Amino acid sequence: MSSDVAYQSAAELLANLRAGHLSAVEALDALTARCAERNPEINVVVTTDLEWARQRARAIDEARARGEALGPLAGLPMTVKDSLMTEGVLTTSGAPELADFVPDRDAAAVARLKAAGAVIWGKTNLPIYAGDAQSYNEVFGTSNNPWDTNRSPGGSSGGSAGALAAGFTPLEVGSDIGGSIRIPSAMCGTVGHKPSYGIVSAKGQIPGPPGTLTEADLAVVGPMARTVEDCRMALGLLAGADDWHEVGWRLELPPARRPGPEGLRVAVWADDPYCPVDPEIAAAIERVAGQLEGVGAVVDHTARPTGFDFAKADTVFWQLLGAALSGGWSPTEIEELAARAARGDAPEGALGVGGVTARHRAWLSANERRLQMRARWREFFGQWDVLLAPVSPTVAIPHDHSYPMTARTIEVAGQTRSYMTQMQWMGLFGAVYLPVTVVPIGLHSNGMPIGVQVAGPFLEDHTTLAAAGFIEALVGGTPRPPGW
């Protein structure tokens, strides 16, 4: 049965559960058996809670047999990223100091999924404190890409995307501050949605430290799946006012601008001299833009926000990212970094280190530049519905855990580039809070998946999801890794 269940979408599995074609216990057992057999090859699922999951699945089966009303995800077996606190289940965020941490409450996103009836049976791997574009840590080791175990599944939600690609789970929840949903989704050939900032509560996400109430600037929590429809369904359950605001606020996201690709206004930004991408990635984006045009979309390859400068936008992104991550550094470390900056030394070390020491007035200046960019994007999306752009300059990279991260390099079409350029196309949209759906659009000549970012106007998540769905239909859906 595990092979029958493994690559069913969440929607298909739920339909089969409701129709009585299989029970919640059978679905759970099928996926966990597959994981037990194949996970050692890729090490993407790092913690399980099968006793609790079977009890919950059994209770759901019994309630369904009694004809009781059940939640929209009732009986769906799934995993979540190990940065999201899960009550009674080890939650480490890849950090040795949290190797024994068992939360007494759920992260907000986990609580919403459980309330909808999901059976969360496992946690998936990530880099320490979700701070890398690969997924490895001292607690659980390295996760491999199901497409090529010599390559990374991306990060920081690499375990999430890898588990989806391997058929261990139909649905996942990841987080994204600098591309952590989008990069793994592209590198593993799966679908991921980075929501508009603020519409899905990130409370209970680590970092910050367990119990932190602050929700970091730029950071979002969002759905990952093998189909766009599953991401859309999950977003509907995850999005909404958090417990601070639900007493008086309600979220009503607007519907997709177009019911089909006919008339969809598509801008294409497939490459840029500031951050050149592998020619095969750019060609794949141009190809899918042509397919959209062939079914009635209006496509433009030169449209950009008025006066927009990629380099300046990238600078603002890194300033804001560094400030958002500064709470993870000790006062002594910040003093040392400030001294380096004063000497004019290049940033060295972890993700976002360059902006950690900024004074508040510098953050205010960067935030004002962000708001000016948001205004230009709002004007742009008055004329265009979505924009297609690369996810990263390259497809999934070989494992590289050398230190410091900022000194690593990647190969892009035979050229050696900084490792950190993997985040530059991410920052274009993350810095300004825009929704982005990543969907696979083909394979590179080296056999690895290629994804595209479908970006859209703030709070119009359903427009990016709909456009990604049109693309999904044109390219034939999510590919399956060879041998899986």
Positions marked catalytic: 81, 156, 180
Which residues share a beta bridge with 443?
A: 449
- Shortest CA distance to 471 belongs to which of 303, 231, 160, 239? 231
Bridging pattern class, strands 77-81 and 119-124? parallel
Q: Which of the 8 DSSP states describes residue 327?
A: G
Which residues share a beta bridge with 192?
A: 224, 438
CA separation (Å) from 18 to 4, 55, 65, 68? 17, 19, 10, 12
- 451, 185 contact by CB (below 8 A): yes
- 462, 234 contact by CB (below 8 A): no
Residue 282 to residue 272: CA distance in whole angstroms: 10
Q: Count of alpha carbons within 13 Å of 282, Cβ hemisphere only?
A: 14
Which residues are CB-neighbours of 256 under 8 A, at least 6 positions away?
A: 460, 462, 463, 465, 466, 467
Return phi, psi of residue 251, to 5°: -105, 125
- 222, 174 contact by CB (below 8 A): yes
As given in the structure block, the two tokens for residue 321 are 């990212």
CA separation (Å) from 432 to 109, 238, 313, 459? 22, 21, 9, 12
Residue 154 to residue 208: CA distance in whole angstroms: 22
CA separation (Å) from 243 to 66, 207, 249, 252? 32, 19, 10, 17
Which residues are CB-neighbours of 78 under 8 A, at least 6 positions away?
A: 10, 113, 118, 119, 120, 121, 169, 170, 171, 172
- Shortest CA distance to 81 belongs to which of 141, 28, 125, 117? 125
Which residues share a beta bridge with 257?
A: none
Is cis: bond before 2, omega within 30 of 0? no
Q: How many residues belong to the chain? A: 484
Q: How many CB atoms sit inside 10 A of residue 367's CB?
A: 15
- 160, 124 contact by CB (below 8 A): yes
Bridging pattern class, strands 45-48 and 119-124? antiparallel
